[in-house]
Amino acid sequence: MGSLFTYIFDGIADGYKHELNLIAQQYPVEPLKYLRPSLRLTFEEGIQMLNVSRHYAIVVIYAETVYIFMKQLCYVYSRSMDI
């Protein structure tokens, strides 16, 4: 999965530079940053990382809850790696 997202993000950045620049003029945002290769964590490692950072999560296995968990985990990881 990790290489799939890297492939997609690289493809968008390379194939749609002009369009992305036009959008950035109207809606200024920071460029997307991601690691190569992508980080792979087990569920337990992700929970441990959230607990260490004091971003506690009660995870129930439903699609929207897992999405929230992943969003929190990405935030914590990006802060810890300063990316």
- Report whether pLDDT(67) > 80: no
Query: Which candidate, 13, 64, 54, places its Cα nearest to that of 36?
Result: 13
Tell me how many degrees the CA angle 19-20-22 measures, rounded to the nearest 5: 65
Q: What residue segments make up the domains of the chain, in order of their start?
A: 1-39, 41-83
Mean pLDDT of 14-38: 86
| Helices and strands in the chain: count of H runs, count of E runs | 4, 0
pTM of structure: 0.48
Residues 6+ apart with CB under 8 A from 38: 1, 2, 3, 5, 6
Q: Between these two residues, 11 and 79, which has the higher pLDDT value? A: 11
Q: At what angle do helices 63-81 and 43-52 cross, to 10 degrees?
A: 60
Residue type at 14 in one-letter notation: D
